[in-house]
Amino acid sequence: MINTYIKASAACPKTNVADINFNIENIKKCIDKAEAEHSKIVVFPELSVTSYTCGDLFEQDILIKKSIHAINELEKYILNLDILVIVGAPLLYDYCLYNCAYVLFKGKILGIVPKNYIPNYSEFYEKRWFTEGFNIKSKVVNLDFEKNIPFGSNLIFKCGDLKLGIEVCEDLWVTIPPSSYLSLLGANVIVNLSASNEIVSKSDYRKHLVENQSARCMCAYLYASSGVFESSTDLVFSGHLIITENGTLLKENKRFQRDNEVITSIIDMERLTSERLKNISFRDSIRLCPYEAQIIEFKYSNNDMGNFDRFIDSHPFVPSNEEERDLRCKEIFNIQTAGLGKRFSHTRLNKAVIGISGGLDSTLALLVIVKTFDMLKIDRKNIITVTMPGFGTTDRTYNNAVNLCKNLGTELREIDIVPACLVHFKDISHAAEIHDVTYENVQARERTQILMDIANKEGGLVIGTGDLSELALGWCTYNGDHMSMYAVNCSIPKTLVRYLVKYVAQKEVDKKTSEILIDILDTPVSPELLPKDKAGNITQKTEDIVGPYELHDFFLYYFIKQGSTPEKILFIAKQAFKNTYDEKTIEKWLNQFIKRFFTQQFKRSAIPDGPKVGSISLSPRGDWRMPSDASYNSWTN
């Protein structure tokens, strides 16, 4: 399980310009810190051995030779360490000086990668000393202490699932960064040794550049830039350190620190593989690579990560930041209303029919309809809301449903389904005292029949209320609440439904409506298909039967989004919910999720249209195409 992860570090050591002994000692201290954190990779800034701002001193033989001897010293220092070290130093090759990344592992130079693009504009004039390295491919370097060292911009360093590519500073800022090609050639971790000076707002642009490149390349990206002690003459440096993964910022330091600094994060290799497998455009781009990679293989002694400190969000569908969450909710409502608005304008109908239960899903669907009708300037009286009390309907949900519809100004109809269900029980010879799945589904299908017939009679559309979590679990009655003419909640997970309703309660409606919505939020999730207790309370609580929705939404996210194995999902769920559920409980509901997800695919194969609002959807017409008869045996113990 843990083999799918790797710990990696970006480091900024203290430096003295041209003081190689001082620089090497501080590089060693950073290596020690990264190694103590069980990191397997540590990348240092550009020319960190000599320092970047040496100017014409780069033409001094003593500086070049001392830097090569320092590399040899570092090799010996890490002989017994299980960490890949990437440091910056110059290399004299065929009478040309190259700005290079030296890749060191267990007392050996695995390879040397030159900087491809040499900036020579504004405050940069590196071409005075250095030569571009983009034409260097699969060469060999011989040093006094080591021979036949691979040298080239096409090197990729491989250990198991890890494939590491390198670029140096300016390489990232050009039109087609070398990392784009390296990623297409297989590299899933890119490191950048940089010396990027500070001017106003440059740090924000730099961070976005790193994030965006990691997203485009579907890779992890480690960025290490020179620190404040590199500052000299006209330039100031800040020691910016960044670690990203597929567009997500994992770790960033506070710039302008005045001591050795190392940041470390855990990279999810499996996530990167999953993203690349799903993205056909990424695969199609491989043929555009103008060269082949030279693979340099190495092997770690172990996979020990020490403390697993990667943040695992227990609610991956819901932003933890309130401001971001509100923006997300607003965006989702806009997508839902735009989709529903298109369906009404296309059909030229102006009436909606919806069953209202006083539960979360029907409440959200009604709020979407109201917003859509207001947008289309259609009278809310054209929204036909139908409450259909049955054997398990409680006063609380009934009153909330009625009061909400009245407050929103819709047309409210009440149809008691008990008489019709009793007749149907008689017709199919089912005893009303037997509270089994037939007893429940008769009610669900009776409600859907009523809604469909009203829609036919009134010339309207039945709007579905079921959410993504219910579709994943198959927690719906086939051709009952499973069916509608347009399903506005079909790609919204239950955990997010709650926040959408809460958002409306806090931001969009009057105080009285808000109070109703808050009480709906506090009501246990239930289909209310079984009789209530003697006190009139809900007896059938969904989460008691299928399990907590927050767990199922977590399972769904990693199962679909990353194609994670049950073993990995269990591992990260234990991290995310360590203060909420024990391992036995998580494992129980994970097995339930897998079995229900596979056995209920036939329902998802026949779902109605509905708007995709997030990156995960189970529509059979695009996002999820799965045979209805697939076995779950390979996914369970």
- Active-site residue, from 30, 100, 169, 329: 169
Q: One-letter amino acid identity for 546?
A: V
Q: Which residues of 275-287 are buried (b: 16+ CB within 10 A; e: fewer)?
A: bbeeeeebeeeee
| Binding region for deamido-NAD(+) | 441, 470, 475-478, 603
Tokens of 606: 């026949």
Interatomic CA distance for residues 208 and 193, integer angstroms: 17
Q: In what order do the strands lie in the sheet with 41-43?
A: 139-143, 146-151, 108-114, 96-105, 84-93, 41-43, 5-12, 261-268
Q: Are strands 139-143 and 108-114 parallel, antiparallel or unpaired?
A: unpaired
Catalytic, out of 12, 14, 37, 46? 46
The residue from 14, 66, 115, 371 that is catalytic is 115
In DSSP notation, 72-118 reads: HHHHHHTTT---EEEEEEEEEETTEEEEEEEEEETTEEEEEEE-S--
Please state the residue numbers annotated as binding site for L-glutamine.
121, 196, 202
- Who's near 308: CB < 8 A, 6+ residues apart? 2, 5, 266, 575
Backbone dihedral angles phi then psi of residue 323, each to the nearest 5 degrees: -65, -45
Task: Tell me which amino acid residue 518 is.
Answer: I
Report CA-CA distances (Å) from 370 to 292, 337, 363, 482, 486: 57, 9, 11, 22, 15
The number of residues making up the chain comes to 637
Establish whether 12 is a catalytic residue.
Answer: no
Asked whether the beta carbons of 350 and 384 are under 8 A apart, the reply is no
Sort 160 into a burial class: Cβ within 10 Å, 0-12 / 13-18 / 19+.
Answer: middle
Backbone angles phi, psi at 289, to 5 degrees: -65, 130
**Does the active-site annotation cover 146?**
no
Is residue 115 part of the annotated active site? The answer reads yes
Token pair in block for residue 554: 């977590």
Instruction: List, in sequence order, the alpha helices (H) in 377-467.
Output: 395-408, 418-427, 437-458
Q: Which residues are known to be catalytic?
A: 46, 115, 169
